[in-house]
Chains A and B, each alone.
Chain A
Amino acid sequence: MEESRHPAPWEDVLGALDGLKIADFSWVGAGPRATKDLADNGATVIKIESARRLDLGRRSPPFADGASKNPDASAFFAQTNTSKKSVTINLGDPRGAEIAKRLVAWSDVAVENFGPGYMERIGLSYAELCKVRPDIILASVSVAGRTGPMAGFRGYGNSAAAHSGHAILSGWPGSEPHMPPFAYGDVVAPMFLTVAILAALEHRDRTGEGGHMDVSQIEPMIHVIADLFADPPAEKPANSDPVMAPHAVYPCAGDDAWIAIATETEAQWAALCDALGSGELRKDERFATMATRKAHEADLDEAIAALTMRHDKNSLADSLAATGVPASAVLDGRDIAESASLKAAGHFVEVDHPVLGRSDMPAPPMRMSATPHHVGPSPCLGEHSEEVFHGILGLSRDDIATLTDEGVLA
């Protein structure tokens, strides 16, 4: 069935998830980030898309050469969907839904993040999927989860921040709630989805039983601030810490240049004073202990800021780190994109893509000694349709052509 070809060198290396098969119905960010984790580690992830209902990720900037109409030109999509395959199926056509079901029958896991009720309406509910693959693992991620009074909630990226306490706790003390310009819920929830899928696989390996994993975006957002629910702060914490001082962001020389500095120990405090060349700070009784520094934090921060603003942010961060003081320049998008250390660590890997060309893609933040990850290109829309429909599902090429012409595989 599958056409023979020469394997790439990395294909000889076992990935942690080799052999795992995923039918990926998810789109935009929350689902695809989880299936990227799986695909980069060797799972075969088949992304089920439609040219008629294009993944909004393919419409998200930035675009190669500004080609916003080209579904394969989005760098946002590319970095979110590395190492996957893509087929096009019109799920609104019952024949398309039946083919999708056959793909689920082939899969270990199906992943979706559609609006409430969509999978049921097209005949792909969990109960239906169990009929074609009794031990299937269905992994769903949605704003509020699939059960409960808010199960029908339709939100956007920042909804989970609003409902979890993040928005009310973000910003400066005394200010209105703050919404950063990125959807943190679209970061945390897919990480929980990855964990849910891997844990469900472990369970299935032991028991033979699948299950429906129901991940809400709100709940992981609460989990990651569980300490603030254990002891709610009287005011927004901003950059402060309940114990540590100094623990803040200070100005450096240059436009919008900042350094973050924190000290956990007296030794670090002494090293900071020495590095800043300030014997005065060390002698000041207000700053003699962590507790007194915390009590005079505003004065402390003002004194440190007067010293840091003479320095280059990177040079100062390097010199502080060398003396054991936790410090980092506040990096921006350019710093990250051009970071030699991130590149050396394998955070970004260069991947060839037919539209984007050779470009950096983010890799998993871990190195597995025996089963390394491999980051491949994101798929062009429908790039693997024939490979999957013919090679995996066994459809004849004539049938594929007919169904494509009739808009079923489109």
Chain B
Amino acid sequence: MSLLSGTRVVVIADGLTDMGGAMLAALGADVTLAGVTDTPGDAARLAWHRGMRVAEGEDLDALLDDADVFLDGRRSGGGHDDARSGRPGLIHVVANVDNLRETPATDLTLMAASGLMTVIGEPDRPPLRLPGNQAFALTGIQVATAALMGLRARRLTGEGQRIDVSATQSATLANYREAVMYAWTGRVGRRQGNRLVRGSSGVRQVWPCADGYVTWSMIDNPGMMRALVGVMAEHGVAGELAEIDWDGILVADTDQGVIDRWQGIVGAFFAEHTKAELGAWSLKHGWGLSTISTLEEVRGSEHLAARGFWQDVPDGKGGTVKLPGPLFLRHAPPGVQREEAAE
């Protein structure tokens, strides 16, 4: 992708800036990795430093003299407060754990501070984080956003600026539900396993099927319920579900015992069919069901292949590893024929 071709970016990587640098590189910027202040493993390095040129013996000042954007990761302390001195056009994006105080943090502790972990997992076990390093990823995306905001602002003012990104706030911003629910209802969310609790009852979100799992929930969407029950009826397994007026009831207010009985009928139907069958029916009839893919299935997805999503990247050991490529597709305006049009 060449949206940012010609834009020069220098990165000090510390976990907080890495994904931001990788995103700018994926958009076509010329990104130089000038330093790494933490100790990422091989997988993290492959994933988050791809597309970057590693500086070899080059002086940071010299790199900054030619740069449009400087991503200055400070999770491990340090930093370059004077980066803009003599470089008024430089956009200096500083990634801090917290914009008001220096404090040690890892992805795990940032996720704990986000308020998300308290609702992830099982009620009788400790809070869980999301897979991977999501606080770092969320901060990295905000770092890329800050750089792009800075470029846009530079067109207005003619000058760069310093932009401080908070990892704590970046992770907490992803928690769009818990704080506002407490503020307005006084309710504090807790871990519910795979139950989706709405109103006075809870419904299941994950279901075993013949060859794996699917996700679907019995929510108040009459059209979706009719579409599912219609196919079940064709197979002669709808039972009492075929008699229900879905427009006339609210699942959220239905007795839990009744919901469990209805879910038992649906569960028996799902258990008899494969992910491919259920996924195809969902696509055709609008059930809102999704098959739960293994990593191998994600890699082998025809859909993602058709969108040119995967790229083979050298793994540094003589082989290659399949990693995500474009951040999104860009379709060029009608009449514009260029190779890069459908990235």
Contact = CB atoms under 8 A, between A and B. Distances in A.
Interface string A37-52: 1000100000000000
B258 interface: no
B138 interface: yes
Interface stretch (B54-62, B240-248, B259-267, B316-324): B316-324
A311 B145 CA distance: 39
B281 interface: no
B322 to A, nearest CB: 7
Interface in B318-343: 321-324, 326-334, 336, 342
B28 to A, nearest CB: 8
B298 A165 contact: yes
B249 interface: no
A26 interface: no
Nearest to A161: B215
Contact of B47 (A17, A20, A199, A226): A226
A170 B120 CA distance: 9
Contact of B324 (A150, A226, A232, A239): A226
A370 B333 contact: no
B149 A200 contact: no
Interface in A94-150: 126-127, 130, 134-135, 144-150
Contact of A365 (B122, B142, B213): B142
A248 to B, nearest CB: 8
B276 interface: no
Contacts, number: 461
Contacts of B118: 256, 258, 330-333
B200 interface: no
Interface residues of B, number: 140
Given A80-B176, A336-B178, A261 B43 contact: no
Contact of A176 (B159, B163, B208, B303): B208
Contacts of B183: 62, 75, 337, 359-360
A273 interface: no
Given A179-B194, A181-B189, A220-B327, A331 B114 contact: yes
21 contacts: A147-B307, A180-B120, A182-B119, A187-B174, A199-B148, A214-B329, A222-B304, A229-B298, A230-B46, A231-B43, A232-B295, A251-B126, A328-B109, A333-B189, A336-B179, A342-B169, A345-B166, A366-B164, A367-B99, A368-B161, A369-B162
Interface of B: 2-4, 6-7, 19, 23, 27, 38-39, 41-44, 46-48, 98-101, 103-106, 108-122, 125-134, 137-138, 141-142, 144-146, 148-153, 155-157, 159, 161-166, 168-170, 172-185, 187-190, 192-194, 196-197, 205-206, 208, 213-215, 217, 283, 286, 288, 290-295, 298-299, 301-304, 306-307, 309, 315, 321-324, 326-334, 336, 342
Given A249-B108, A345-B169, A367-B99, 5 more contacts: A168-B295, A328-B113, A334-B182, A366-B163, A367-B164
